[in-house]
């Protein structure tokens, strides 16, 4: 478990909310609904590889072919939309946020999986504590510096092992793999893990991203083989 007692608030942020704040209530609701239970910790080793996947040792690079180069001086991360406390962070502010390390598996829809990737970054749950999504926030759109967009339900974005990472295996994330910072959502196919993250937008209504518009499944659970959409 990560420590949630320290809000790691940016300068000027309100103090920690009282016990029955909206945030506390939201967390309680989520816990009651059993959200964030990805099954990751209880899945036995022989069921670790999702159906139709094969294991690789290298780490393939997949993107739209344009790898944007963002200097740390110009990098920003905006968190906007249906939140009480939107933020616009420069690199130093992002790096000053609470850090979480996770070792998780990658499952790409093109059928490769890669085990035990050691990530470090800001847990999406800790981001949610800071920005405070409103009741109206149901979905999250991830916008990237290469123009890529992908969409997630709020509860998938808020999975307990989802991180906005800046490091892989204790080294800065390389540009080809989405550095300076990318999302990693281990319980969904890897196209949901936006590289070169630029903006996180909380919205009331779902909106399909690039691959979701181009025939991929809207949800993308590898355990259910949600690879392609049935919709025309």
Ligand X SMILES: Nc1nc2c(c(=O)[nH]1)N[C@H]1C(S)=C(S)[C@@H](COP(=O)(O)O)O[C@H]1N2
* Residue 9 makes contact with Mo ion by CB under 5 A: no
* Residue 186 makes contact with ligand X by CB under 6 A: no
**Using H for helix, E for strand and C for coil, what is the string for 131-194?**
HCECCCCCEEEEEECCCCEEEEEHHHHCCCCCEEEEEECCEECCHHHCCCCEEECCCCCHHHCC
Residues in 106-125 at the binding interface with Mo ion, rule: CB under 5 A? 108
Residues in 106-125 at the binding interface with ligand X, rule: CB under 6 A? 108
H-only helix segments in the chain: 22-32, 91-95, 124-131, 154-157, 210-213
58 contact partners, CB below 8 Å, separation of at least 6: 114
Name the binder of 82 from ligand X, Mo ion, none, CB < 5-8 A by kind.
Answer: none
In the structure encoding, which two tokens stand for residue 115, read together? 């085990």
Q: Shortest approach of ligand X to residue 103 CB, angstroms?
A: 16
Q: Shortest approach of ligand X to residue 225 CB, angstroms?
A: 16
Stretch near ligand X under the rule CB under 6 A, chosen from 28-36, 73-81, 127-135, 194-202: 194-202
**Phi-psi region for residue 55, left (φ > 0), alpha (ψ -120 to 50) or beta?**
beta
Q: Shortest approach of Mo ion to residue 54 CB, angstroms?
A: 15
* Residue 63 makes contact with ligand X by CB under 6 A: yes
Which residues contact ligand X (rule: CB under 6 A)?
A: 59-64, 108, 144, 146, 148, 177-178, 190-191, 193-196
């Amino acid at each position: 478990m990560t420590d949630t007692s320290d809000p790691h608030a940016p300068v000027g942020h309100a103090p920690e909310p009282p016990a029955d704040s909206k945030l506390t209530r939201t967390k309680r609701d989520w816990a009651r609904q059993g959200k964030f239970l990805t099954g990751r910790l209880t899945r036995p080793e022989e069921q670790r590889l999702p159906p139709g996947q094969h294991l690789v040792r290298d780490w393939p690079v997949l993107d739209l072919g344009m790898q944007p180069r963002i200097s740390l001086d110009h990098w920003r991360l905006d968190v906007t939309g249906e939140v009480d406390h939107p933020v616009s962070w420069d690199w130093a502010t992002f790096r000053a946020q609470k850090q979480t390390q996770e070792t998780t598996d990658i499952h790409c829809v093109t059928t490769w999986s890669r085990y035990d990737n050691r990530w470090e970054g800001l847990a999406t749950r800790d981001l949610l504590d800071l920005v405070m999504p409103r009741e109206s926030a149901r979905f999250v759109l991830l916008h990237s510096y290469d123009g890529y967009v992908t969409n997630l339900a709020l509860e998938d974005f808020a999975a307990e092992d989802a991180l906005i990472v800046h490091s892989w295996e204790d080294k800065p994330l390389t540009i080809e793999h989405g550095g300076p910072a990318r999302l990693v959502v281990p319980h969904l196919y890897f196209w949901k893990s936006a590289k070169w993250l630029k903006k996180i937008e909380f919205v009331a209504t779902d909106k399909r991203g690039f691959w979701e518009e181009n025939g991929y499944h809207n949800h993308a659970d590898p355990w259910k083989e949600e690879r392609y959409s049935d919709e025309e």
